Structure formats: C-alpha cells, structure tokens
Amino acid sequence: MSSKKFTVRWGILATGGIAKCFTKDLLVNPETRGIDSIVHTVVAAASSSSKSRAEQFLKELDAPSSAKAYGSYADFVKDPNIDAVYVATPHSHHFQNVMLCLEAGKNILCEKAFTVNAAQAKLLVKKAKEKVSWLCHIRRTSSLSLMHNLRRTYSLWRPYGPATSHSQYMCAI
Ligand SMILES: NC(=O)c1ccc[n+]([C@@H]2O[C@H](COP(=O)([O-])OP(=O)(O)OC[C@H]3O[C@@H](n4cnc5c(N)ncnc54)[C@H](OP(=O)(O)O)[C@@H]3O)[C@@H](O)[C@H]2O)c1
C-alpha cells in the first residue's frame, strides 16, 4: 500500500466562535486518532468584516504561515489553492455562502443548521451535483437515534477517539 498521504487544503469562511473551535481541531494531526492516510491543512481564511480579522484568526490558530487572509468571501472563493471550504456563518447565511462556494467549484463542509428550509437545501444539493465532489453538513451525533441506542446499551457517553470537540459530530449528505 502507498504511504503517500492525501492532503485536504481547507479554506475557512468566517472567523467566529465555532470557526476557531473547528480549525483548532482540524489542525490536530489525524495520526493522534489512528488515521494515517490523510492530512488537513488550512490555506486560507476569510472574514466579511476585514482582512485584518482573518489575519488575526490565522495567527491565533497557528495556521501555516503561507495561509492567505481575505477581507471578502467573494475574493476568498477565487483562491485556486482551496479544495474545501468550511462554512461557519450564522445559518441564516448558509444558503448564500454555500452557493457562492459551489459556484466557485469548492467542496463544502457547512455548519448546522444547513439551511433555513428544505427548498434551499434542495437547490444546494442540485448545484453540488453539477459542480463539486462533496457537500456535507455538520450534525450532532448525540441527536441521532443510533447514538441514543448505543448510549443506552453501553452506558457510554464519550466522543470517538482522543477528545477534540468536533469528534462528537459527523457529516451527513
Ligand atoms: N457544531 C457545533 O457544535 C456548533 C456550535 C456553535 C455554533 N454552530 C453553528 O455555527 C454557525 C456559527 O456559529 P458561531 O457560534 O460561530 O457564531 P459567531 O461566533 O457569531 O460567528 C459567526 C461568524 O459569521 C460571520 N458572519 C457573516 N455574516 C454575518 C452576519 N450577518 N451576522 C453575524 N455574523 C456573520 C462573522 O465572521 P466574519 O466577520 O469573519 O465574516 C461571524 O464571526 C451557526 O450556524 C451555528 O448554528 C455549530
């Protein structure tokens, strides 16, 4: 088997509370949770408020020094080095932000709640099928009936693997 690791080059859209939390976790070496085939790196971050806010975000999270800061989401999505975008704006803005990224051909991991209604979600899925390889959203595993059953069966409530806050979540779609 090849020892070459697959690298995902992430762009972070928005610099609020959960974006900080997620990015911190993202930059933890996957080998610490037994994954040795993939590496995550952050190549860019964007703030709708100012470029300096994005710069501060990257600095605070100890992102690679080559990571680029953007003061506009529209400029950010044009960055050819970004493979996938993590969307961490309020859910009222997910439709417009995710659509912007999909139009630019970026794979997406979007925070919960995915959209404000089913019609928006359908449009995004349709666009994703035309333009990208994957569109995921974050969902609390604690709200899935499977997790309730597991907890009941094993009297267990612990995140998977080493404790990072996002290890409690999973992607859907
Ligand atoms: N998975 C989880 O455990 C979890 C936990 C908390 C929240 N969330 C979800 O994550 C999303 C963000 O939550 P958060 O707690 O990170 O919120 P937050 O701290 O308020 O951050 C949201 C960020 O979105 C950007 N933004 C763009 N347009 C905005 C607007 N019109 N109003 C406010 N902010 C705007 C801002 O960043 P810039 O200025 O950099 O553009 C802002 O810092 C929500 O969808 C929430 O449901 C998920």
> From first to last of its 173 residues, what are the pLDDT tens digits of the chain?
557 899 999 999 999 999 999 999 999 999 998 989 999 999 999 999 999 999 999 999 999 999 999 999 999 999 999 999 999 999 999 999 999 999 999 999 999 999 999 999 999 999 999 999 999 988 766 555 665 565 565 554 444 433 344 434 444 33
> Ligand 1 centroid to 17 CA: how many Å?
7
Atom of ligand 1 nearest to the CA of 49: 39
> Ligand 1 centroid to 111 CA: how many Å?
9
Q: What is the CATH number of the domain that holds 163?
A: 3.40.50.720
In a domain, 13, yes or no: yes
**Whole-structure pTM value:** 0.87
Q: Is 107 in the pocket of ligand 1 (CB under 6 A)?
A: no
> Ligand 1 centroid to 15 CA: how many Å?
8
Q: Is 14 in the pocket of ligand 1 (CB under 6 A)?
A: yes
Q: Is 23 in the pocket of ligand 1 (CB under 6 A)?
A: no
Half-sphere exposure of 16 (CA within 13 A, CB side): 10
Write out the two tokens for 161: 């693997």
Buried b (16+ CB within 10 A) or exposed e, 83-94: bbbbbbbeeeeb
In a domain, 1, yes or no: no
Q: Is 138 in the pocket of ligand 1 (CB under 6 A)?
A: yes
pLDDT the model gives residue 170: 41
Which residue type sits at 126? K
In a domain, 111, yes or no: yes
For residues 142 and 169, give the distance between their C-alpha atoms in angstroms, rounded to a whole number.
Answer: 8
Q: Is 89 in the pocket of ligand 1 (CB under 6 A)?
A: yes
pLDDT the model gives residue 128: 95
Task: Domain of residue 101: give its range.
Answer: 6-171
Among 15, 132, 158, which Cα is nearest to 173's? 132
Q: Are 47 and 34 in contact (CB under 8 A)?
A: no
Total domain count, the chain: 1
pLDDT the model gives residue 157: 44
In a domain, 19, yes or no: yes
Query: How far is residue 30 CA from its own chain's centroid?
Result: 15
